[in-house]
Chain A
């Protein structure tokens, strides 16, 4: 099929302002959007800059706006988006070049919620026992790949860069609801804050954007409840 990719370019050493550029070529309906971007980079214009690595939706490098929706380019087939495709970088972070944005603020917010196991007792000789039900309780949020599709789809985040954002809350949820973790009070202190969970306006953009099908808005609601009662 003939396709047209309209890509928002930003080449800071060439010109000061961003611009849109069209690329026309042939592709298969079952090609990934990433295959098309690779085709452009490898055969038409090597100056196109984007991040990607695993190409199978697990590394989280290639989140971008595809026809206005945040998606992973490697998990989006052409047949799902049509032959006219507009590609833009994630919204809300400074663009370094073309589709590459500065992810440092995203990882800074991630680090704010203390995303690591906090355990008060000494480690047992073997594994800590955790029932299948306890393990299932936080399964959904362990799937997060830190691609930033959720955070950069959130209108609250667009207007307030200090908002911790859905991805960091998802990461906090993964520990708050893990029966082995003792850091709940500390995390809730961080999130029970004007820039924490209460900023969420339940718009559901994050849930729609998540390429891992995590119920992000639900996870945020569960953290809100925990923050309200001060416990899980």
Chain B
């Protein structure tokens, strides 16, 4: 039997953004709040972030939020909305202090302040030289943020529904009235009704085969939105982090370079000097990832393989053991090498989606190019596109975004819930979900979902990654049509209800193929190079035609593209060099 639960506010996803919103909602006793996550909260991928959270505290040298804003705008290749960026960078010191007050165990300076390190693209005085802006807890900053926010959720008594997989939104007459979710343990469907729902479902790195993302980061929130007529913004912009462990994709934090690590090719040459004479290894991620690809293409990969070296051997045992212990552990566990004495083999790895569900600065989901919002629906964190990252995100700004915009969304939802009435919700989404689940669970024969997933991931890695061309994108588009058709008739082994992850993984796979189609369509249409979207057939940025956000509306197989202007306040677009 279907169970129905009624809340004022629902939070979908229990990573940094979701937990931050939930702890703020919980401060309002009149707003009955629950968090749904397909995992236990502490399994969320915020925990995998390593290097730090950006804030101009100025604890280790002069800094100010305006420099942070400039770096973020420049890093975004001028596609970020500057009003949102000013809010994020302006609020940054306050939220970092707030995390510290919650108990986050930051590493410390000699005088007991929060320690800060250098990070790619973060500079002093509008691009002059690297600045120490990344506040860190060794190289497990994300782990400590996730733990701290979960601790606060416990302190405040937040209600959780763990291991509930959301299958659909309940959207009627232009407002979101709750969600339909599958309880993993029992296989039963539940209806959750609400006045306000926050999507905080994280990233979609599993669309690519080489990724730093968890196997559960399948873009669920984006798919939920797109299937309900909500546009997705700027999906052509996907960040490849320069330093993933070769062949595994596991993240090696930029903090290694922040502490002085150097990228070298097979001749031992510090090649970033050629590509970014000023900031060198600390240029922004899109620039460094392209440089690595170019070195490998020119035959300067290590031993003819698809990787270069990240050299930290000159940093010394102390720095590595105390400031980068997780990295040292990864290298010893997975590579059998010690970074104190041996350089690390690295290649770019799919890491972070700049695009996502369009929102205003308070998390309200926008449904068209005029910025009209959907009543009752909010988004925050990686699945949202505010847009503070534009075409390329700077390191440390993702953790910052989670906290700043999770908090703002939580506050906005509380305000909305205080005034709004619970709107009636019909059974249609529930019945549709039930039918879709039953069809999938009982289909007799078909391809394995894992085969479809793998094929899509490899296609996207080959054709829609660091460098793109019309030809590659067109080919991907055609192959994805075929994959989409095949995904409609996949069959799973597990016909039971209890903890059926065969079913949920198949569900995720179908969603990701749809998402891959949108990404490819967005990339195909944008005939310029900007930030992480690098078109070899259109190598230059073209502000006259393309200084605008993409909005992609997906209707079954068709993707309709519209565009909206970028908000520029004080930083006019300039040539971007590091």
Interface centre among A52, A58, A103, A139 (most CB of B within 10 A): A58
| Given contact pairs A52-B215, A116-B152, A127-B114, A59 touches B48 in the complex (Cβ within 8 A) | yes
Given contacts A116-B155, A132-B112, contact A54 B496 (CB under 8 A): no
Measured between alpha carbons, how far is A129 from B111 in the docked complex, in Å? 8
Given A58-B47, A115-B154, A129-B113: A46 touches B493 (CB 8 Å cut-off): yes
Give 1 or 0 for each of B421-464: 1 = CB within 8 Å of chain A CB: 00000000000000000000000000010100000000000000
Contact B143 A58 (CB under 8 A): yes
Q: Is B266 an interface residue (CB 8 A)?
A: no
Known: A46-B502, A53-B45, A111-B154. A117 touches B40 (CB 8 A): no
A56 touches B103 (CB 8 A): no
Question: Known contacts A53-B214, A127-B114; is A11 also within 8 Å of B496 by CB?
Answer: yes
Q: Which of B40, B45, B493 contacts A54 (CB 8 A)?
A: B45
Quote the shortest CB–CB distance from A134 to chain B (angstroms).
8
Q: Are B155 and A123 neighbours in the complex by a CB distance under 8 Å?
A: no
Shortest Cβ distance from B401 into chain A, in angstroms?
20
Bound Cα distance A147, B434 (Å): 33
Nearest CB on B from A212, distance (A) = 9
What is the count of residue pairs linking A and B with beta-carbon distances less than 8 angstroms?
155
A103 close to B333 (CB less than 8 A)? no
B47 touches A97 (CB 8 A): no
**Binary flags per residue of B377-403, CB closer than 8 Å to A gives 1, else 0:** 000000000000000000000000000
Query: Quick one: CB contact mask for A50-86 with B, threshold 8 Å, 1 for yes?
Result: 1111111111110000000000000101000000000
| Min C-beta distance of A46 to chain B, whole Å | 3
Say whether B330 faces chain A, with CB atoms less than 8 Å apart: yes
- B140, B216, B333 interface centre (most CB from chain A within 10 Å): B333
Given contacts A97-B498, A129-B113, whether A142 and B47 have CB atoms under 8 Å apart is: no
Is there an interface contact between B108 and A117, defined as CB atoms closer than 8 Å?
no
* In-complex Cβ contact of B494 among A42, A46, A125, A130 (8 A): A46
CB of A145 within 8 A of CB of B215, answer no
Size of interface on B: residues with Cβ below 8 Å to A: 57
Shortest C-beta distance, B338 to chain A (Å), equals: 15
Chain B residues whose C-beta falls within 8 Å of the C-beta of A75 in the assembled complex: 333
Given the interface contacts A11-B496, A60-B43, A103-B40, does A135 sit within 8 Å of B502 by beta carbon? no
A19-58: which have CB < 8 Å to B?
30, 32, 38, 41-43, 45-47, 49-58
Question: How far, in angstroms, from A175 to B97 measured CA to CA in the complex?
Answer: 18
**Min C-beta distance of A43 to chain B, whole Å:** 7
Whether the pair B112, A130 counts as a contact (CB closer than 8 A) is yes
A117 to B497, CA, bound (A): 40
Given contacts A97-B499, A107-B40, contact A119 B143 (CB under 8 A): no
Q: Is the CB of B496 within 8 A of A14?
A: yes
Chain A residues whose C-beta falls within 8 Å of the C-beta of B329 in the assembled complex: 57, 213
Interface positions, chain A 88-142, Cβ under 8 Å from B, are: 96-98, 100, 103, 107, 111, 114-117, 119, 123, 125-132, 134-135, 138-139, 142
Tell me which residues across on chain A come within 8 A of B105, comparing CB atoms: 135, 138-139, 142, 174, 178
A146 interfacial by beta-carbon distance below 8 Å: yes
A97 and B48 alpha carbons, distance in the complex (Å): 27
**Can you name the residue of chain A whose Cβ is closest to the Cβ of B453?**
A42
| Contact, CB under 8 Å: B137 / A77 | no
Contacts A53-B39, A59-B48, A75-B333 given; does A117 touch B498 at CB 8 Å: no
**A-contact 0/1 string along B487-502, CB 8 Å cutoff:** 0000011101111111
CA of A130 to CA of B96, assembled, Å: 15
- The interface size bin for chain A is 35 or more
Whether A59 contacts B43 in the complex (CB less than 8 A), given A115-B154, A143-B140, comes out as yes
Known A14-B496, A47-B496, A131-B108: A181·B214 in contact at CB below 8 Å: no
The residue that B103 contacts in the complex, of A50, A55, A181, with Cβ under 8 A, is A181
- Report A166 CB to chain B, min CB distance, Å: 17
Least CB distance, B95 to chain A, in whole angstroms: 12
B137 and A59 within 8 A (CB): no
Contact A116 to B154, CB < 8 A, known contacts A55-B215, A75-B333, A123-B101: yes
User: Is A180 an interface residue when CB atoms closer than 8 A count as contact?
Assistant: yes
Q: Cβ of A12 < 8 Å from any Cβ of B?
A: yes
B43 with A53: CB separation less than 8 A: yes
With both chains docked as a complex, state the minimum distance between the C-beta of A215 and any C-beta of chain B, in angstroms: 14
Chain B residues with CB under 8 Å of A50's CB are 501
Q: Is there a chain A Cβ closer than 8 Å to B102's Cβ?
A: yes
Q: Determine how close the nearest CB of chain A comes to the CB of B136; give it in whole angstroms.
A: 12
B496 touches A117 (CB 8 A): no
CB-CB < 8 A to B470: which residues of A?
none
B42 touches A60 (CB 8 A): yes
Does A2 reach chain B (CB closer than 8 Å)? Answer: no
The chain A residue sitting closest to B42, CB to CB, is A146
Bound complex: CA A143 to CA B325 (Å): 11
Q: B493 near A49 (CB under 8 angstroms)?
A: no
A-B contact pairs, 18 of them (CB 8 A): A13-B497, A38-B215, A41-B450, A41-B501, A49-B500, A53-B43, A53-B214, A56-B251, A58-B47, A59-B44, A77-B333, A96-B185, A116-B102, A123-B97, A127-B101, A132-B109, A142-B144, A142-B147
The 6 closest A-B pairs by CB, nearest first: A117-B103, A46-B493, A42-B450, A129-B112, A46-B502, A116-B151
* B interface residues with partner A (beta carbon < 8 Å): 39-40, 42-45, 47-48, 96-97, 100-103, 105-114, 137-138, 140, 143-144, 147, 151-152, 154-155, 185, 214-216, 250-251, 326, 329-330, 333-334, 448, 450, 492-494, 496-502
